[in-house]
Structure 1
Amino acid sequence: MKIKNLLITALTLSTLAACTKDDTEPGEKGNFIVAVTPVAATGVADYLLTASSLDTGKVSTAGRGVEQDGTYRYYVTHNNKFFSMLYGQGNPGAITVYNILDSNLNKLANSVTETVQAFAPVNDDILMMKISRSITNPVTSWYQFNTNSLNITSQGNINTAELNNNGELAFFSWIKQVGSKVYAPYFSVKACCDAAFGTAFPDQAWIAVYAYPSMTLEKIIKDDRTSFIGRYFTDGLELVENGDVYAFSSSVATSMGTNTSMNSTKPSAVTRINAGTTEFDKSFYINFEEISGGLNITNWLYVGNNKFITFSNSKEAKGAYSVGNIIGVLDVASKTWKAVSGLPKIADIKGFTSNNYSDKAGRFGYIGLNLTTGIGYVYKIDASTAVATRGLRIEGGTLTAIEYLN
């Protein structure tokens, strides 16, 4: 499929039915968007529901919501638009674009694209990466989807075998705009045989720095105090208010791509790149395992004022693809971590969402939590006290994402 021949068509308005604000009602209009996968025996598509608050109320998929095409969807907001992205499992992907009108979802456009493994807002674009997994064909393609024209305006290729120059392939864990640059942290993978995601180089972190919009490689930042930054399909970088960039490493590199072959000797840790520089700050280092009693970070949500809500695993549950179920608050300024209280018992939790929400004002973050009973909730976490409060109730499916539009 040639990207320059993408078909983008305006679609009809899709609205959600209104209801009262009483908690007994199954849904309401609002500017918060929650994605919910309905209960079904086989794979089904997400439904997008809206709510006026994440602190109270109830939403349900019963007779409500905007159904998405395709089973695997991922979400991002930018330029006050909501982008629903289809992961095509090797087939072409898609981007469906919405905004909010009068507290209702309004579908703006639908585009057929390539399936991509990393995407992020950059300037007025959504920059997307289709990442190679073949050492014999190491061509990673990038696409710039403009959020004003709702069209792909530029594309190009990166030879990811040339980034490491160590016989393995660079695989981007995610991408992030930092100033006028794009930072692309990556891990090194064999990309062949029976150990495609294994590596012989588990104890180093790399970030490729690109000019934008040309996507010209400017330099590669390296650090040997941690393993690679982020995880597969997981953003391990965060830009804070003063322009500093913080990075987490889960320390989950493996020799064979399996949980039984983890080979990094480095602890899960947090490092920093100071504002205006393109090097790791060697004077800053947080051994996360040390301050948390042996946990590793698997994901985080920035809430502002140098505070992060962290998702972690115990040493016994640590794995390359294991999602953390221990929630805490990390303050990178004081280098302290505290477990969050007020959440259900781990045994009662089926899973957490990876796509969560904060206004980044410095205090509150909202995370999605699905219980073994089949009910889901949004929990409000106060980063100043590390206390969670139960909020919006989700019925009729599994909560997968939380977003907000003005």
Structure 2
Amino acid sequence: MNRKFLFWSVVMACCAGSVLTSCSDDTVPENSTPDAPGTGAGTYVVAATVDGVNYLLTAESLDEGSVTVKNNGLETETGTYWVFHNNDYLFRLVYNKGGDGTGSSYILNSNNKLEEHLSYAFKRITTYGTWGDNVITASTGDTDRTDAGGYAEQGILVNYLNSLDGTTSTKTYPCENYLGNGEYVTFSGFVQANGKLYTSVIPMGMSQYGVKAFPDKVTDPQLVATVAGGSGSGAYKEGSIPSTQYPDHAYVAIYSGNDFSSTPTIVATDKIGFASGRMRSQYYQTIWAADNGDLYVFSPGYGRLTTSSDDLKRVQGTLPSGVMRIKAGETSFDDTYYVNLEELGNKHPMYKCWHITEDYFLLQMYTRGLQSKGEYTTELAVFKGEDRTLKPVTGLPSEDVLSAYGNIPYNENGYIYMPVSTTDGSTPALYKIDPRTATATKGLTIIAESVSTVGKLTSQK
């Protein structure tokens, strides 16, 4: 039987007697007003996939009803990441592995219909965010500068994708010895708060260029690779130090200008490891601002995964998943604040996290120990910053049938909505999580195979 026909047969059987279009919301959270399409209040947008084809769907409510991709929605190319810029534009970004990235932006037109707005081409992505009118992406790679031996200086390759006119500006910023320890770096996530831009700085070891330029920064000659090795994102070159010498340190750069050409303020701590979720070459944001401007810095503790081999010595980290804080307007970590996440809740290490509201954060946890492939991360928990508490979320599908979460949840009116896919024959659904009780309630059902993200767009006038 044709796979697509089989899928739709299952869908129709599961949904017999139900309406496969979005339904209005009869239960409105306190102190909120329901959105009406075409009024400028905004319309919910869901990115869903069937048979490798992506669709953008609209819905009137996230709390109930269902929407379908069958004969519905705007068909688009696939996207690695979906970024909502304010409520005006939705960006589709494609990673393309080691190659250059591509993407498009989408709008809700004056007739409240989704349409493609602008197209983009840019350098490869390992992290992304927004800054002013731009969606920004960043990665680390060779610059045009080389030393006498032909070794390339490393730099941060930043793409500025303007949401207003579609222009793309690519700039390269040197990142050798960025932290003063001889190592080159990459960025992980971007947060606009307190009139500044914050980014987590991830030390990457020393490049061939760096080892030659800063020999006094090599803490142990045995850390320098004598032959090339590794594969994929873990490949390294002879004469380099392939992983950081400082796995038990976290660094945050604070920028005051409009781009990365200004000199940042570097905030450092040795109480947690580097602050980033990780899966292969991708770096997921784990720094977020609370509503009062305090920046919470979460570290999964990935330095513990670093191991030595017979051919190469590496520095292994020891610190667990932890949280520290930079108070609003401050340029140093709050020395009175530290939380060991692995002593709370179900005592699991952390994978990803997102801000919900106030000082509540949603954390995605490993259930079978720390690893860097994003597997066995079916537990969600709510962290309360001021209270230093972590509560596992209840009301979700059981772990034995839960197959995946969406890449980016959506927060509104004090709740956060997480796309959830299962293996029990059910179609994906959004689960509404109340951070105060750490409970999840099933909401909008999406008749598709998987859901990447959900957000809101306001119609263009």
**Is residue 45–residue 72 contact of structure 1 (8 Å, CA) maintained in 2?**
no
**Is residue 199–residue 256 contact of structure 1 (8 Å, CA) maintained in 2?**
no
Take 2:107 and 2:450, find their aligned partners in 1: how far apart are those partners?
23
Deviation at 1:143, TM superposition (A): 2.6
> Against the structure 1 CA distance between its residues 36 and 198, is the aligned structure 2 distance closer, same or farther, given a 3 Å change threshold?
farther
**1:202-241 equivalent positions in 2, closer than 5 A:** 202-215=247-260, 216-232=262-278, 233-241=283-291
Matched, 1:281 2:324: no
Letter of the structure 2 residue corresponding to residue 241 of structure 1:
D
Letter of the structure 2 residue corresponding to residue 296 of structure 1:
P
The equivalent of 1:50 in structure 2 is: 58
Measured against aligned partners, the alpha-carbon deviations of 1:60-105 in whole angstroms (never above 9, x if no partner) come to: 2222232222x44311111421111122223332231112234421
Take 2:153 and 2:287, find their aligned partners in 1: how far apart are those partners?
28
Matched, 1:394 2:446: yes
Letter of the structure 2 residue corresponding to residue 283 of structure 1:
T
Deviation at 1:139, TM superposition (A): 1.9
The equivalent of 1:115 in structure 2 is: 124
The equivalent of 1:366 in structure 2 is: 417
Take 1:26 and 1:166, find their aligned partners in 2: how far apart are those partners?
58
The equivalent of 1:357 in structure 2 is: 410
> How does the TM-score come out when normalised to structure 2?
0.75
The equivalent of 1:88 in structure 2 is: 96
Measured against aligned partners, the alpha-carbon deviations of 1:308-367 in whole angstroms (never above 9, x if no partner) come to: 1211113x33112325211111111111111111111101101111211002x4x31100
Letter of the structure 2 residue corresponding to residue 139 of structure 1:
G
Deviation at 1:111, TM superposition (A): 2.1
**Is residue 123–residue 159 contact of structure 2 (8 Å, CA) maintained in 1?**
no
Matched, 1:248 2:260: no
Matched, 1:188 2:189: no
Measured against aligned partners, the alpha-carbon deviations of 1:356-380 in whole angstroms (never above 9, x if no partner) come to: 1002x4x311001110135211101
**Is residue 81–residue 407 contact of structure 2 (8 Å, CA) maintained in 1?**
no
Take 1:88 and 1:218, find their aligned partners in 2: how far apart are those partners?
30
SS of corresponding position for 1:347: coil
Measured against aligned partners, the alpha-carbon deviations of 1:142-188 in whole angstroms (never above 9, x if no partner) come to: 23222222223x44222222213445431212222233332221222
Whichever of the two has the greater Rg, that structure is: 2
Take 1:180 and 1:132, find their aligned partners in 2: how far apart are those partners?
29
Letter of the structure 2 residue corresponding to residue 63 of structure 1:
N
Matched, 1:24 2:14: no
**1:225-374 equivalent positions in 2, closer than 5 A:** 225-232=271-278, 233-253=283-303, 254-255=305-306, 263-314=316-367, 316-322=368-374, 324-359=377-412, 361=413, 363-374=414-425
Deviation at 1:266, TM superposition (A): 0.9
The equivalent of 2:12 in structure 1 is: none
Deviation at 1:133, TM superposition (A): 7.6
> Against the structure 1 CA distance between its residues 193 and 278, is the aligned structure 2 distance closer, same or farther, given a 3 Å change threshold?
farther
Matched, 1:38 2:38: no
Letter of the structure 1 residue corresponding to residue 174 of structure 2:
N
> How does the TM-score come out when normalised to structure 1?
0.84
SS of corresponding position for 1:289: helix
Aligned length: 374
- Please, which runs of 5 or more residues in structure 1 have no aligned partner? 1-21
Matched, 1:75 2:82: yes
**Is residue 257–residue 320 contact of structure 1 (8 Å, CA) maintained in 2?**
no
Measured against aligned partners, the alpha-carbon deviations of 1:275-327 in whole angstroms (never above 9, x if no partner) come to: 1111111111111111224212211222212111211113x331123252111
The equivalent of 1:126 in structure 2 is: 135
SS of corresponding position for 2:429: strand
Take 1:371 and 1:183, find their aligned partners in 2: how far apart are those partners?
35
Matched, 1:405 2:457: yes
SS of corresponding position for 2:62: coil
Aligned-pair identity in percent equals 25
Take 1:262 and 1:35, find their aligned partners in 2: how far apart are those partners?
41
Letter of the structure 2 residue corresponding to residue 62 of structure 1:
K
Letter of the structure 2 residue corresponding to residue 248 of structure 1:
F
- Please, which runs of 5 or more residues in structure 2 have no aligned partner? 1-15, 24-36, 38-42, 144-150, 208-227, 236-241
**Is residue 72–residue 88 contact of structure 1 (8 Å, CA) maintained in 2?**
no
CA RMSD after TM alignment? 2.6
Matched, 1:140 2:156: yes
Letter of the structure 2 residue corresponding to residue 107 of structure 1:
E
Deviates more, 1:121-130 or 1:280-289: 121-130
SS of corresponding position for 1:391: strand
SS of corresponding position for 2:336: coil
Letter of the structure 2 residue corresponding to residue 394 of structure 1:
I
Deviation at 1:223, TM superposition (A): 0.7
Measured against aligned partners, the alpha-carbon deviations of 1:233-267 in whole angstroms (never above 9, x if no partner) come to: 31111112211111100011232599xx9932112
SS of corresponding position for 2:411: coil
**Is residue 169–residue 188 contact of structure 1 (8 Å, CA) maintained in 2?**
yes
SS of corresponding position for 1:385: coil
Take 1:126 and 1:108, find their aligned partners in 2: how far apart are those partners?
14
